[in-house]
Structures are given as C-alpha cells and as structure tokens.
Amino acid sequence: MIKTELFLLVLSMGVAMAKEPIGRRSTWRNLPNIIIMLMDDVRISWFLAIFVVVSTFHWQMGWGDLGCYGNEAQETPNIDKLAQEGAMFTDFYSAAATCSPSRASMLTGRLPIRNGMYSNNTFGRNAVVIANATGGLVPEEETIAEVLSRLGYRSKIIGKWHVGNSRELSPLNQGFDEFFGANQNHLGPYDNINSPNNAVYQNDKMVGRYFQEEFFINTETGESDLTRIWSKSAVEFIDANKHNPFFLLWSADGTHTVLGAHRDYLGTSQRGLYGDVIRDLDHGVGQIITRLKQLKLHRNTFVFFGSDNGPSGVAGTHGGSAGPFLCSKMTTYEGGMRVPGIFWWPGVIPPRQIEKAPANLLDIFSTILEITGGEVSNPERPLDGQSLWPILINKPGATLEKNSIFFYRGTGLYAVRVGDYKAHYWTWNLASEGQRKMGGNPCSGIYIQNFITDEITDHNDQPFLFHLGRDPGETYPIDPSSEEYQIQMDIINDARDRHLKSLEGDIANPQLNIIDRATAVSTFQTLLPLINNESLYTFIRNYEKVTRNIITTDIKS
C-alpha cells in the first residue's frame, strides 16, 4: 500500500508540474521533450480481443507488423519494448483513411473537414497533397509546433511532410524551426526533366532527390539508407537540444512504396522486403530511445508511436495485410483507419498498460497541450480531439469524455463509432478490376453483399451496424429488426447529429480541389511510355484518372 501511494504521489507531482503555466516555470527542465514517431501505412494485427483476455503481459501473440500487437515473428523488439514500458491502445485510429488529411489533423487536432484538407469536387472521395497540388494545410490553422514554439521549444520534422508543396505551406511556416525531408513521399523513380524525382530539403534548401546519390533506393535489391539517414538526423537533433526542450516529429516513411531497407536487414525478415523495412524502422526507433537514455533525457520525454493510416492493400505484398480487420488504406472500414497507438514516458506513464478505449490521432494535440500547459491562440476554435492524459497515467476512475470516432472521406461522413458499436452510412471499397488482377485490392477481406461496394453506396436509410468488440472484422452485421440495433442506432445517430451541428460555421474551404502542373515535382505521366506490363499500365492509368477525380476538375496550365 505504501509503495502504491508513493507511486501515485510521484505521478501526481509530475502531472502538476507538466500542467503548470509557463509563466511559473523556473527552468526548462519542467517542460517535457516531445517526440512523435509517425509511420506510414503501418498495419496493426490482431489476436488482441483474445490476447488481452488471456494475458495482460503476453506481448507476442497473433500476426501483423508489430510484436506488441500480435506478430509471431517477434521482429520489432524496440517498438515492442516501448509498448511494454508504456501504454498501448488496442482501438486507436488515424484521423483519415489517407496520408495528408490524417497528418494535418494530428498537427492541428481538427478533422479535415475543419482544417481544409479535403476536396469537394466529387462527393465522398479521398484527397491527398499530390506533387502538383496547389493547396495544403493553410497557415491560418494552428499546429502543435506553433503552440510549443510559444513555450520555448525547438522543433524539427524529419522525413515526410505531405501537407503542402509550396514554400508558403512548408513546415518552416507552420511552427517548425527545422526541416529535413521531403514534401512528398518517395514514389518513383521518374528521372525525367518534366517529372523529376521528389526533392529532399534541409530547411529551405534542396539537398537532393529521391533515387539519387545518398537518397538512392535500389528498386532491384530493395536496398536504401533512407531510414538510417532519418534516424541519424533525429539523434543529432536530440544531441543539439539536450539542454533545452524540443519537439521532434520523426516521420520515417519506409513502409510506403517504393520499399527500401538498409543492407543490414535485407533478407532477414520472415515477411520478405516489407518485413525488412519494418525491422529497419524498428532499429531507428531503438537508436532514438537509446540516445535519450544515454543523455538521461528519457524520464523527461513523452513519446508517441503511431501511423497515419492503415496498410496499402493495392500494394499487394509490398503493403502488408490488416490481419482480421476489413479492407485497408483509403477505406473507412476498420482496416483503413485502425492503427498502432503507443505512448511512452518512463516514470510517468505506468508500464504494461493495455487500453481498450477508442482513441484517435486527433487526441495527440490535446494531450500535448495538457502535459505542457500550452494554450491555443483561439480558444473558441473547436478541437475534435481530447486529452488522453488521465487514462495514460492510470488516474483512478478516469474515463474519456468523448467516445465517438468519425470516419470521413472528403465531405462524406461514411461511418461513426460510439463505444463498441460502429455504423456505416456510406460504403465504397475503391477497388477496380485492374487492381484485383494485379493482386492489389483495398478490400481483400470477407465480402458482404451490398456492404463492400464497388461504387459509393448510400445506407442512410438503414446503416450497417457492427459490434467491434465481438466482431472486429465487421463480418456479422446486427439485424436491423433487433432491439439492439434500434437502441444503438439511436445513440449513434444522436452522436452524428450533434457532431454535424458542431460543424456549423467551422467548415473550411477545401484546399485539395486544384492542381497546377507548374508545381509538380513528379507525376505518373513520365512512367506510362516506359511500362510494358499491360495490367500495370492499366492500373497506373486508372490511378491517374481516380486522382484527377479526387483532386481536380480545374487544372491550370
């Protein structure tokens, strides 16, 4: 009893210190360092519904990318250790089904419909910041980097930005002091004067391009030093800021195609090249955590590890599987947005926690506000997330005020989860016949008639309803004539209506409607004449058509 009371006293002292306003802080040491490790298309795998019941502390059971979420290969020891020493959420979600809107929402704590990272050219379609997109996260939206800057933090993003291409929309104009990475991911190679490979920047200076020199990715062998470059830069940033508070967004995107892993890990995974990349990323996580411990900063550093969306089903074996979850990236089924969520702060966040409450990337913003005492510049501007801090520190009796998750694609509110129940008002799997012939399919799970649909389908008159606790694969819809269906749909409809009302006067202008070829760093156009494989050619041509439908009806020449 004495030990327990002493532990809770230490926790409460740490929380009081973290929430203390900056004006009363006598030293930077009262401000925790913040590290967000945001991966790309990392999948979560599941035996967790069974696993949590069997043993709270058995971390290697099931299948998927990360050992702590059930992978039998046990190839992610450093990430698994983060989970073992901290808190792991089983029902954690990205803020959107694709990269750009999800990342922007994590940075702002606001849904894409509020921060403008969507397109309304066509109803219910995803949109991302492609290389020739003119829009992005507008400076009027306040990022967590801007909040932390006012508290005296030094901030840096390393790796993938993907929420704006222009100088005005760069990280340096969104609160970050330093930038080492790219506005885009590393698709390619293109190697054409009209469609050059994506550029890599050191702050506002271009220092190279993907697939060239030190940023080379060997498409034949899969060898690449990119993750090592990003992890080395992270360690250097920590070294340079060991005497002042820092915020690091480590956005290593190795799991996004084109895959590339360091030579030390090539051919070492049981899961092929994708597994090699996961092992390389895990090594990078280990390098960062080891440096924190060497500098004795680990007890003053809050770390979050997660992913911007689910796995890429259209990438086949280079994109992984969502395990028992339905479908993958780009969809609002569980496989599209259920992602890892791991929190680590030794001595403050108790170890070996498994949290089943639904949570979201949107919550990262509010959680950081609470632990730093930071304040937004406009308190009247709604935030969609909430602080997870009370349950992270295992505060007795703590629960989350919000228990709803909203699944958007563009302007379409496709699904809503409240508690364990999820209702689908719209469905669309995004799969084309050409993608399926190639072995790529966003929805490779069990097909349910009229639920996994090849076209945008309206179910508002009778939504599909699932209990995710007993049916995480969304395989057995609840009978609409049952009392359970009627009761839960009343609850979810009420949550949906209250959410939609909260948007009144706060829907941003869409920023992803227009492309301009003058802004392009790369496109698929250069690839088309070089492709001999007919199905691959068809896929890329179809992708280009879909992209145009998603992102533009108005092209500037």
Which residues participate in catalysis according to the annotation? 99, 162
- DSSP states along 159-223: EE--S--SGGGSGGGTT-SEEEEESS--------SSSPPPEEEETTEEEEETTSGGG-B-TTT-B
- Provide the 3-class DSSP secondary structure of residue 437: helix
457 beta partners = 427
Enumerate residues 6+ apart whose C-beta is below 8 A from 465. 421, 422, 423, 424, 477, 478, 480, 485, 488, 489, 492
Question: Quick one: DSSP state of residue 143?
Answer: P
Sheet containing strand 301-307, strands side by side: 205-209, 199-202, 178-182, 154-160, 246-251, 33-39, 301-307, 341-344, 87-89, 353-355
- DSSP states along 358-403: -EETTHHHHHHHHHHT---S-TTS--S----HHHHTT-TT---S--
Query: Which pair of structure tokens corresponds to residue 371?
Result: 């632990």
Torsion of CA 234, 237, 238, 239, to 10 degrees: 120
CA distance 538 to 534: 6
Beta pairing class for 33-39 and 301-307: parallel
Whether the bond into 521 is cis, omega within 30 of 0: no
Query: At residue 82, what is the residue type?
Result: L
